[in-house]
Amino acid sequence: MIELPTEALWLVIALPLGGATLLHFVGRWLGEPRAGYLACAASLAAFGVAAAAAVPFLTGEGHPSQSLLWEWMPAVGASFEIVWDPLSALMTLVVTGVGSLIHIYSLGYMHGDPRFARFFAYLNLFTASMLTLVLAGNYAMLFVGWELVGLCSYLLISFWFTRPSAAAAGKKAFVVNRIGDFGFLIALMLIFSSFGTLSYSGVFDRAGDELAGSAATWIGLMLAAGAIGKSAQIPLYVWLPDAMEGPTPVSALIHAATMVTAGVYVIARSAPIFELAPTASGVVAAVGALTALWAATIAIGQSDIKRVLAYSTISQLGYMFLAVGATAYVAGVFHLMTHAFFKALLFLGAGSVIHAMGGRQNMEEMGGLRKAMPVTFLTMGIGVVAIAGFPPLAGFWSKDEILGVVFNQGGFFTVLWLVGLITALLTAFYMIRQFVMVFLGRPRWPEGVVPHESPRSMTVPLVVLAVLSVLGGLVNTPFRLGLEHFLEPSFEGVKLGHPAEGVVSILVLAAVAVGAGAVGAAMAFFAYHRPPEAWRRFQAAFGKVWGWWEEGYRVDEIYGTMLVAPGRRLAEEAAFRLDLGVVDGAVNGVARLVRAAGTLIRPAQSGLIRQYGLWFGLGLVALLAWLLVRGGL
């Protein structure tokens, strides 16, 4: 085995970045398949380098290391430096691994698009940005990646920019993220003013002894604000459903597997700070649980195949938040990983379906695709089972661990556990509902649509991801805590939350969770494995509530009327009343005043000699009077 020096890790970022740069300038000239091949090669090479570099951690010989690339802003302790520890290694592998698969998938999915090369340039750029985020050795560089993935998200959501909705969605994503970044920036400022540096090592080394509780709480809360934006949690999740305007591989890569999990990563990375800030952790957990439930209910009501998955992603991210909020960082990262597998799988599967349906995304127009697309059917089925949390698939292990930890925390967390449990039920419900509506039953295809299985480049990634979704959970089971052991060096000195010890409690909790999933799954199957009229009756039984779910509680409208519209009115008032009227008016007013003063004294200049004499006389009198008064007369 070749030992890869950690100094060479910059290659992991440089490879996709180089690919992006190259494609940016010569992509059009390269033409359709070759541009894609180049991008895939860059991504795979990065995966290869990362895998080679990660080997020492697997063998247990590796030590976390940090390598400086170059100084950036020395005044605030910000430089380009790469940290290589198990956590970043795991993230890197997930990003490059899943990313490579999605690259390959896109070869088929984006076939024929006029901006094919540009798409791959963006994908490569995204990969590089995400790697910058996870490999950053300090908060400033983390923020670079953090914002760059936001940029890529913006570019890719509005990739089909001629569609106004896509352009608007891209902007919305960026702006909403920026609101979270506002918090993140404040966190950075707090960190800098507390520690005088932004580098991880500088911060974490001192965090334990010296950081005051209140400061830690504020830092934690502000970091969480950033994470809430990026990971689409309440109240900033509204951008993610709209982000589905982007091409489906983008949804899979950015808005399911990688970018949106950055928030979870940041909280996990900042574990030493959160450890000192239980309040912040509690808030994170509460937000996560609430979001998980909230989004799951909305997912139930969706009929767009991608929007279901979008809300599902929000809900699953809520789980991860719940985990890291409960200090179960390993569990959170674990779920992050498994979720990357199965959600990418689901999205890619959905993409395959959409591809087959000629771009249609409404599930009510699908049905019975089982025969037409067997591979997609099978792999997506695995994904559904995995996310629904049935053993022994990946989702079961990670979700189960989260619920176990939360339950074990007791107190307030018991409520959150209950919420998580209900969410598990709902998750199974909406996933099975989707699966049934798409693949089972009778075809409800519109005229002229002839679904067909997708090309090999698309199905191969599906299969690989399906395999990972099945086996991925086995890295960390209650029986063999492989992942936890692997990640240990990254959480040195941090007290991790754990599920209760003991086989009985583990089994009971698992059974409850799986039972909830089974109930949900069964309900969905029986409700939807029937003709459409029957579902409608089923849905009507919920009354108004179903409408709320369908419309996502009208959060967008509420934000629109409560925030956007008043904000815009305010801006208009400021621009056209205040600025033009008052501020500029004052300036012009001074000018007018000067003229008015001139006009006021103008009559003195009447042209009449006698009056001129009078002014002369008056001036003289005033002058003499002053002199005499002064002279003491």
> Which residues, 6 or more positions from 337, have their beta carbon under 8 angstroms from its beta carbon?
90, 94, 398, 472, 475, 483
Residue 315 burial (CB count, 10 A): 27
In angstroms, give the least distance from the CB of 619 to another protein: 4
Instruction: Report the residue number, 10 or 347, with the smaller CB distance to another protein.
Output: 10
In angstroms, give the least distance from the CB of 479 to another protein: 43
- Tally the residues of the chain: 633
Instruction: Report the residue number, 448 or 607, with the smaller CB distance to another protein.
Output: 607
Instruction: Report the residue number, 531 or 617, with the smaller CB distance to another protein.
Output: 617
Instruction: Report the residue number, 112 or 114, with the smaller CB distance to another protein.
Output: 114
In angstroms, give the least distance from the CB of 10 to another protein: 13
In angstroms, give the least distance from the CB of 362 to another protein: 23
Amino acid letter for position 580 = L
Instruction: Report the residue number, 121 or 326, with the smaller CB distance to another protein.
Output: 121
Among 293, 243, 287, which residue's Cα sits nearest to residue 263? Answer: 287
In angstroms, give the least distance from the CB of 158 to another protein: 6
Sign of CA dihedral 37, 41, 43, 47: positive
Instruction: Report the residue number, 58 or 586, with the smaller CB distance to another protein.
Output: 586
| Helical packing angle, 374-388 and 412-439, nearest 10° | 170
> Residue 625 to residues 57, 466, 604, 633: CA-CA distances in angstroms?
99, 105, 22, 9
Distance between CA atoms of residues 236 and 279, nearest Å: 20
What DSSP string describes 158-176?
TSSTTSHHHHHHHHHHHHH
Sign of CA dihedral 427, 415, 539, 518: positive
In angstroms, give the least distance from the CB of 151 to another protein: 6
Instruction: Report the residue number, 534 or 596, with the smaller CB distance to another protein.
Output: 596
In angstroms, give the least distance from the CB of 294 to another protein: 24
Among 90, 383, 133, which residue's Cα sits nearest to residue 263? Answer: 133
In angstroms, give the least distance from the CB of 172 to another protein: 9
Distance between CA atoms of residues 89 and 488, nearest Å: 12
Instruction: Report the residue number, 502 or 613, with the smaller CB distance to another protein.
Output: 613
Q: Are strands 476-477 and 65-73 parallel, antiparallel or unpaired?
A: unpaired
Q: For the chain, how far is it from start to end, CA to CA, in angstroms? A: 111
Distance between CA atoms of residues 484 and 490, nearest Å: 10
